[in-house]
Structure 1
């Protein structure tokens, strides 16, 4: 079999809101603990987006991925145009200059803009990895009770926390189903024969097909919503979604302690050793 006749490798799609099967310590953590950890790390990286906090969070994500036995197959295929876009962004950021400066022959090139671009890129990858890790180790059914438990103090202010939790749970459950339905509609659209008409007629046909696709998508969403409503009614109503009592356990407090120690140590290094050396440069 020649290379031209060999089957083309299909790109891996993004897998979100579907936990990877397994029974690990990361899977067994309370969903509310994961949400609090993500929120705390997000606040840390928002106010102190330095290399040390980013590296510390990346190490924690890598350790949690190993503990959760997340396979490499869940990672989507990175398209080539994204690599080209990143290379173009790095090249244009280099033109901004800044400290540190290196000499290339008789010219001096400032790497400050490039380092800032790389830091922002690393921060984005870390945040995406953090969200993916929570998605791959958390059952969607556990999110609503966790949100209801975390928002319990807000009930004194007459805030409908339970309704918000139910809405969030329904949105998370409907999102993967709608993605699958849209993929089926797109595949059906691709099976249609290509038009060879004039440019004007082809544009009108594209507009008509776009309207048909949107109408079909709305119909599918309404059908899925009706089916989900019937299933919720059969199981006792929407109140049962957030009614399950959940709370943190001993392993959750251990996870909190590890995150606080690692993030606290990274912040201390960022503000003292790394910050002082950066000021000297």
Structure 2
């Protein structure tokens, strides 16, 4: 098992992923109950009285829509809560793939079994993507089950679209975290820089309507490619996904390059 880094990494995260599954299911259950049982149209009328700037700063350019199940999911889950869970997990997995192995002094032991540096990192990054994918699968299943319990009609294709985008943005930031780990090697740098990129990206997206003179800055935001096309309502965007794929490939290549050069004794 030690030689199969991919399986070991996934296996070691089973308990954490199971806990996230439970959290996601209970959250979906609560949100679906609110949508089905509470007068959301009345809440929407109150929300509409708030200044548009406040709504945009909180929920992004799409604003807050509590009148439909998709709108509630967009507002309550896919804007802040789920990105926080998925991106946070992926950044940790990125740290775990490089900087943590160095800091815990376990990497030399693993490499002594004959596994090459490149093979080690590649398996770790594939494990990162696999763990994020498992969490996304749990989310999709939770939405389908809880939506069925409360007899809510939510387009499965649109759920798949936004969940794929969520998987892509979280995996991308996880790959970036791993890349930073191969370059700098310190956990504080990995978490600080990766989280900083995610936070700046979020605010570039949500505050874009207020930055008329700098409107093109939104194209630097990963959140724009995640939610800019409103996938939960409009479905899968024709090209936003490609930005994540390209960024993943760049981060993967850069991480592999610096990982091969890195002096693990320092």
Pair member with larger Rg: 1
Greater helix proportion? 2
TM-score between both structures, scaled by the size of structure 1: 0.26
